[in-house]
Amino acid sequence: MKTLARFCYRRRWLVLLLWIAGAAAVITVGFGFAAPADNNFAGGKADSALAGDVAAKHFPHQGDSLTLAVHADRGITDPAAKAKIDGVLTTLRSAPDIASVTSPYAAPNQVSRDGRTAFAQIFLTVKQDKVPVGDTSNLIASVRGASGDGVVFALDGGAVQTAETPYGGSTEGIGLLAAMIILLVAFGSLPAMGLPIVTAMFGIGTGLALTDLIGYVFPAPSFSPIVAGLIGLGVGVDYALFIVTRYREGLEDGLSPEEATVKAIATSGRSVLFAGVTVVIAMLGLLVMQQSLLTATAIAASVAVLMTMITAITLLPALLGFTGHNINRFRLPLLGRTRTASPLAIRWAGVIQRRPVISLVSAGAVLLILAVPALSMRLSFEDSSNLPKGSSGYTANHILASGFGAGYDAPLFVIAESGTGLQPVADAVRRTPGIASVTPVFTSPDGGASQFLAYPTTAQQDAATPKLVTELRDNVIPGATTLTVHVGGPNAGTVDFADAVGVRLPWLIAIVIGLSLVILLALVRSVTIAVKAALMTLLSIGAAYGVLTAIVQWGWGGKLLGFPVAMPVTTWVPLFMFPILFGLSTDYEVFLIARIREEYDALGDTREAVTQGLARTARVITAAAAIMVMVFLTVLLGSDPAVKQFGLGLAIAVFVDATVVRMVLVPALMELLGAWNWWLPRPLARLLPATVH
């Protein structure tokens, strides 16, 4: 690390030019030739995936679809209403990417019993994520504009939801602005604020561009860039922040700019290296789930973190070479301080060390209480009922749920690779409690497959609906036929996804914790601290799960945070949160414990080492956590409920970890453990790298 720091400092013009040229090339190619998104969570050998394979083979033109919801106060057969409905259907048939439109007048099952609500099925010529957002927006506006005189129209479907709740947007810019303000308050000078921002932008830009190219090998879902961007921006600014803080401390101690840079990279830069590798390893733990979209998103986020880590230990030393002693120039009055040690943190450490048992029990009780709601967490994928009120998707959902029942948007696709023999299955499914209606069986054009749709009485997010899927698969269908019959659709996909998670999640937890322990052990040279760090991280993750459940699922303050209705936690959110939070939480552990270890090696006294380590990292950890919390919370300004849950969960966990865990639990536990903090068996001591000062 010292050699790398000296090279980058002395060859700063070369390093800077290489970074500018390389970033320009990667960004141009990556963003200009980005791989298309893939939002299909059904994959592998799951029953819903097999149903999709049969449908794709024998119903090649079925494709994705949209739904036109219609409500007519005087009934859809009223002449005036019929004229308006026929006009909208004609408009839809002539729209781009529309293959066919099934009129409710030609399909009795598409009309409610009272005759006032109906829907038209609109089949697309392409996958829904291939439909241009502009075309969909124009279609939504055209349909909405046709409403009036007692007739209401609304469109729903994947393409509609994509157009109305786009990922990303202005939230990343707001997060960057928040980071700049926090850095300015922490450092009080423009150069010190600017260096972490510039470094992070190089890392994020190249990282996101590379993820777009990697998408050709590992197709990723639409939310993958925002996940990678959130994590990359948060850790990118934080990593540079820690190094710049250590550089300024070196200048305070009388070192030259070059020596201050070398020491900053050899200490904080080394911690950045360990922290970044830990985050990457934690996220790549998702590979054990053997789910292609999880794998792709994990790789995308890992690449973003990897690039921010590389920029922090290569580009930042070069920029420090240009800055020199001017890092503290252009100071703003009343903001920031040069001295990194915090008198308040010293006093706080003294309070904790005088009452370690009370501190430990109190903080532990708080975390356990926060985690209690997680015991009732219910998982499901979001649907149109979770969209903002007034959107086309929400309006369509409301119209059809009122006219047909809550399960209209949760159809089960029952399909067999046989042109005959499915009717007994349809009859058995129709008689099953929880089924509202069943469509007639229809055969594929090639005669090689047949299928029908079954509509549950309950909504997609109702806990009873997944149970119904299991009942059909395990009991109803096997008792009605000897054919191989598959059940597909959104609900079936949710059940299969949850089953896969339940089987492989223990492996994910074991691998992430195990590899993170190895990384921590190599950095802090203590078995005790490594195990303690893993336990503390699990507590903070549990607390984050609990608070997220209370807000999203129980509805406690949900409306204030942009969740219009109480809803289950989106299935992929806690799954992604675990490895990411484990990695991020370990980051703070790395920076705090590495500094405590450094002070211990110099002083030989655990209590004083904890005091000095806390004093010298409290302000920078607080600033780093504040940046990450603000970056994550900016997604609440967006409209996609799943992404909002993800950002909120990360923000809660980082806040809890940087306050309750790092500022209370860690110093209290280290005070109680005393000399046992540094326990390391001799065989391990010979294998592990020595600490660096």
Which residue type is seen at 255?
Answer: L
576 close to 501: Cβ distance less than 8 angstroms? no
Residues of the chain above pLDDT 70, percent: 95
Tell me the pLDDT tens digit for each residue of 463-522. Answer: 888 899 999 999 999 999 999 999 998 778 878 887 777 778 788 888 888 887 887 787
Q: Where are the beta strands (DSSP E) in 39-150?
A: 65-72, 98-102, 117-124
Q: What is the pLDDT confidence band of residue 182, given thresholds at 50, 70 and 90?
A: confident
Distance between CA atoms of 536 and 488, rounded to whole angstroms?
41
**pLDDT at residue 522 in the model:** 78
Determine the 3-state secondary structure of 452 from DSSP.
strand
The pLDDT value recorded for residue 372 is 96
Q: What pLDDT is attached to residue 649?
A: 93
Residue that is last in its domain, among 136, 164, 192? 164
Same domain, 122 and 173: no
- The whole-number pLDDT of residue 92 equals 93
Flag whether pLDDT at 586 surpasses 60: yes
Distance between CA 588 and CA 681 in Å, rounded? 25
Phi-psi region of 115 (alpha: psi -120 to 50; beta: other; left: phi over 0): left
Mean pLDDT of 125-141: 84
181 with 265, same domain: the answer is yes
Dist. CA 413–CA 493, nearest whole Å: 11
CATH number of the domain enclosing 197: 1.20.1640.10
Residues 535 and 594 in one domain: yes
What is residue 342's predicted lDDT score, i.e. its pLDDT? 67
- Dist. CA 193–CA 176, nearest whole Å: 12
C-beta atoms surrounding 216 within 10 Å: 11
pLDDT at 556 over 90: yes
- Is residue 396 domain-shared with residue 385, that is, in the same domain? no
- Do 299 and 218 touch, CB atoms closer than 8 A? yes
Residue at 249 is within a domain? yes
The predicted model gives 16-44 an average pLDDT of 85
* 607 pLDDT higher than 80: yes
Would you tell me how many other CB atoms lie within 10 Å of the CB of residue 326?
A: 12
Domain-located, residue 256: yes
Rounded CA separation 460/494 (Å)? 9
Tokens of 135: 């075309």
Tell me what the mean pLDDT of segment 436-445 comes to. 89
Same domain, 520 and 642: yes
Q: Are 23 and 146 found together in one domain?
A: no
Establish if 326 belongs to a structural domain: yes
Local confidence band at 693 (pLDDT 50, 70, 90 cut-offs): very low
Looking at the domain assignment, is residue 39 inside a domain? Answer: no
**447's tokens:** 């005669």
> Do 357 and 233 meet the contact criterion of CB atoms below 8 Å apart?
no
Quote the number of domains for the chain.
Answer: 4
pLDDT for res 494: 79
Q: What band does 338 get if pLDDT is binned at 50, 70 and 90?
A: very low
Q: Per residue in 245-285, pLDDT tens?
A: 889 889 988 999 999 999 999 988 988 888 888 888 888 88
Q: Higher pLDDT residue, 527 or 546? A: 546
Mean pLDDT of all residues in the chain? 86
In a domain, 44, yes or no: no
What's the CA angle centered on 540, arms 273 and 173, to 5 degrees? 60
Average pLDDT over residues 102-108: 88
Between residues 220 and 127, which one has the greater pLDDT?
220
Q: Mind listing the pLDDT tens digit for each residue in 641-687?
A: 888 999 999 999 989 988 898 889 888 988 888 888 888 888 877 77
User: Which residue, chain included where needed, has tokens 């997604």?
Assistant: 635
- Looking at residue 365, its pLDDT comes to 95
Whether residue 380 is found in the same domain as residue 450 = no
Residue where a domain terminates, one of 130, 164, 198: 164
Written as six digits, the tokens of 73 are: 């106060």
Residue 48 lies in a domain: no
Residues in the chain: 693
Fill in the DSSP letter of residue 21.
Answer: H
- Assign residue 454 the CATH number of its domain: 3.30.70.920
The answer on pLDDT for 339 being more than 80 is no
Quick one: average pLDDT of 123-143? 85
Query: Which of these ranges, 58-67, 235-244, 485-494, has the smallest mean pLDDT?
Result: 58-67
Residues 315 and 358 in one domain: no
Confidence class of residue 369 from pLDDT cuts 50, 70 and 90? very high
Contact between 232 and 308 (Cβ < 8 Å): yes
Looking at residue 63, what is its pLDDT? 58
Question: Which residue type, as a one-letter code, is found at position 480?
Answer: A
Last residue of a domain, one of 437, 466, 494: 494
pLDDT score for 69 = 94
For residue 577, name the pLDDT band (cuts at 50, 70, 90): confident
Query: Do 174 and 140 have their domain in common?
Result: no
| Confidence band, pLDDT 50/70/90 cuts, at residue 692 | very low
Query: What does the alpha-carbon distance between residue 129 and residue 681 come to, in Å, rounded to a whole number?
Result: 55
CATH code of the domain containing 77: 3.30.70.1430
What average pLDDT does range 400-408 have in this prediction?
A: 88
Q: Do 181 and 137 have their domain in common?
A: no
Question: What is the structure's pLDDT at 86?
Answer: 94
Q: Distance between terminal CA atoms of the chain?
A: 12
User: Hunting for tokens 């879902």 — which residue is that?
Assistant: 221
**Residue 316 resides in a domain:** yes
- H-state helical runs in 567-665: 572-603, 606-633, 641-656
**Candidate from 116-125, 145-154, 268-277, 522-531 with smallest mean pLDDT:** 522-531
Residue 47, domain member (yes or no) = no
Question: What are the E-state strand segments in 287-429?
Answer: 379-380, 412-416
Is it the case that residue 594 has pLDDT exceeding 60? yes
Record the tokens describing residue 592, joined without a space.
């705090």
Task: State which residues form the domain around 172.
Answer: 1-33+168-338
Paired sense of beta strands 379-380 and 569-570, if any: parallel
**By the 8 A CB rule, do 230 and 168 touch?**
no
CA 156 to chain centre: 24
552 and 669 inside one domain: yes
Q: Which position has the higher pLDDT, 564 or 406?
A: 406
Query: Based on the domain organization, do 174 and 317 belong to the same domain?
Result: yes
